[in-house]
Structure 1
């Protein structure tokens, strides 16, 4: 049995693994963004309607949630190192059919396979990172992991857009397949399992909480609902933002590539600030209700209110600014929810609970692109359709933030679930073993 490090101490090599998993999420989101970035060329070449393109965007999420749940239970018993390796291989191979001439059906099938491979990605990566950091030090590495999404877009969009403009959208998919295989090689050589609970056997005597109690706890429900609203905005950004810049505001494909990275740059700033502020608040004695729950949900409410202003301004720079800031604020919730769930979930159940959380909130990824496509298709003009779709987004985002603000009380959740006396202080000591 592995000797457990002292509570609060970060094992050697933890930040190397964090960096590799950050790159894992970079590849993950580069894979996600390519269809949205190449949306107009794909629609033009394949003769797709707005509804069909919305369905294409949603197809990615068809098996996303199911895969996340299945793999979540698998990582309770199988080393995350090997699960992550298999997931990345699936992503890479799913890209190569698009290099040549491809039918709409084949494109949809490949996106479904890609979604199945990427569904468990964040939850498995978070579970892997938590084997390297004790509870009080998890917010910052979670923020860094989350930033893989933003940097995946920031780094990939200029490169992929150059390939799309100068070659074709087909070659952009091939480039992503090659990059994915390069990560596989790096992880095979350097990836390791964390020493803070290597196997479920090391926590065999830890009390288990029935899954029904965990999944119906107010903090779990609050995390799912709040992140559902945030992911609605993210899904629209992945699928429709570049098309909106071109079809709604009249930018060229080349110009749209540069504009498309702005929400992700702002979102990256929000996520990193949230992670840093949360750690400072926890060190200063704030409860995790404040340092995680309130800190994560309030930006959703503010962001939704900002997005609601879009129909009131003229097309142009101000509209882009409102869209960038409003949607970018949703990033705060991704940083705080996994650590909140980790506070009260036993280690032997944590992988599954985080995976189920991810599976439930990403249902919005299945709905949002499809709803937007339907709204645009039946609107009087494309611009009117886009604005209606973003107004729906605003209402969902603000509403989810309010529900999160009411329900996120992680610092008292463990005691409620187990009947333990609640200790003084911010976090429940021992709520999740640092091992």
Structure 2
């Protein structure tokens, strides 16, 4: 990312009308960053309150893992349905509807009730939040041409990290001082405030219409009509989705089980665990911004998406895998904590690579659906991972946490190999025009 890529420099160089458009683009992008912050603050509550909820409801680790997996029961389905709608319905209204619904979804469990109410509330919340990431990315990227999408795409993804970093200490305090149900009221109120701001300031970008439809050469028309089956059958889409699946596995476990691992598995106090959980997200944030800068620089120099996106993303996953797999080789709480936060931080940093790669691959008229199908596929990791780790913890005790990290490392190796060997949008995109 050079100075010319920063919002302030871009505004200074454009004519007045372009500056107004650019200003609106970055305003919308900023709101979408906050949108993802609220989205992941919602998701983090149960992980931060895991011990309190298990004690309050008398849940085993397996029961708690299944309750968290319930969040993803309709998550993937909703991601596909709304992702397809995003190609036909203005993203502005889809985002507003999602924000309102997920605030409402917090209320039943916040009011009271047992495990059934908690599961029902999480299923509804998952359905409301499932499409959030692909629709937010589509809304943000619509304001920018392809060569300028790395930064806004990374910023929206960074909202995931910022949501947990900013929310974890405050929500941990609320949970310990006022109970875990009070934390649900807090995130519901924040979501309602965002919905009000978006209703006033939200807008849809026109870049797809102006740059990709009106100015696209006639030879691109068949690509616009390419069916989803052709897009989803490309090696690039498949490789990107496999790699992103392993990242989402990391994200799901970081949200649900990592606070308990830090507390129960490594012996940190609940307060310390609440602070330490920020570290993998912070490492992920640095990796996201560094990847966006480096990838953008490579692509401006003419480097292909295969290397600039696939190889760079694959390296991040591989380093994360090495950190996770090295856990049994070190002694001491500090060393294991360091490897854990590095492994999950870097392992969870492939999202921006995935989104910008599919945006480069898919024609504009199919982009929302292509992103939605990818998101639906990868988020099945959230359905499986919490339940698997809950079973490991119940059957193996503290050792189950470490084995969960080793399993995560093995999956990240698979994701890295997929990124290195399959991602090549410059090869596959032209085939969609055939």
User: Do the two structures share a fold, i.e. TM-score over 0.5?
Assistant: yes
Q: Of the candidates 64, 75, 91, which is equivalent to residue 64 of structure 1?
A: 75
Indicate if the aligned counterparts of 2:106 and 2:188 stay in contact, CA closer than 8 A: yes
Indicate if the aligned counterparts of 1:87 and 1:121 stay in contact, CA closer than 8 A: yes
| Residues 290 and 332 of structure 1, relative CA distance in 2, 3 Å threshold | farther
Task: Name the Cα RMSD after superposition.
Answer: 1.9
Q: Aligned partners of 2:385, 2:348: CA distance in 1, in Å?
A: 17
Q: How does 1:296-375 map to 2 (within 5 A)?
A: 296-375=313-392
Residue by residue over 1:27-70, the C-alpha shift from the partner in whole angstroms, topping out at 9 and shown as x without a partner, is: 00000111000000000110000100110111111111100000
Indicate if the aligned counterparts of 1:30 and 1:152 stay in contact, CA closer than 8 A: yes
Q: Which residue of 2 aligns with 1:295?
A: 312
Q: Which residue of 2 aligns with 1:28?
A: 39
Q: Of the candidates 210, 213, 228, which is equivalent to residue 245 of structure 2?
A: 228
Q: How does 1:30-429 map to 2 (within 5 A)?
A: 30-197=41-208, 206-207=221-222, 208-379=225-396, 382-419=397-434
SS in structure 2 at match of 1:197: helix
Indicate if the aligned counterparts of 1:62 and 1:115 stay in contact, CA closer than 8 A: yes
SS in structure 2 at match of 1:78: coil
Per the TM alignment, residue 202 of structure 1 is displaced from its structure 2 partner at its CA by: 6.1
Q: Aligned partners of 1:288, 1:141: CA distance in 2, in Å?
A: 17
Residue by residue over 1:265-297, the C-alpha shift from the partner in whole angstroms, topping out at 9 and shown as x without a partner, is: 111111111111111111122111111111111
Q: Where does structure 2 lack aligned partners over 5 or more consecutive residues?
A: 1-13
Q: Aligned partners of 1:310, 1:102: CA distance in 2, in Å?
A: 39
Residue by residue over 1:351-401, the C-alpha shift from the partner in whole angstroms, topping out at 9 and shown as x without a partner, is: 01111011001111111111101111111xx22110111111110111111
Q: Aligned partners of 1:214, 1:99: CA distance in 2, in Å?
A: 42
Q: Aligned partners of 2:126, 2:358: CA distance in 1, in Å?
A: 24
Q: Where does structure 1 lack aligned partners over 5 or more consecutive residues?
A: 420-435
Q: Aligned partners of 1:276, 1:176: CA distance in 2, in Å?
A: 32
Q: Aligned partners of 1:114, 1:202: CA distance in 2, in Å?
A: 35
Indicate if the aligned counterparts of 2:266 and 2:337 stay in contact, CA closer than 8 A: no
SS in structure 1 at match of 2:208: coil
Per the TM alignment, residue 211 of structure 1 is displaced from its structure 2 partner at its CA by: 1.6
Q: Which residue of 2 aligns with 1:431?
A: none
Matched pairs, number: 410
Structure 1 runs of 4+ aligned residues shifted over 3 Å read: 201-206
TM-score (norm 1): 0.91
Q: Which residue of 1 aligns with 2:9?
A: none
Q: Aligned partners of 1:198, 1:99: CA distance in 2, in Å?
A: 43
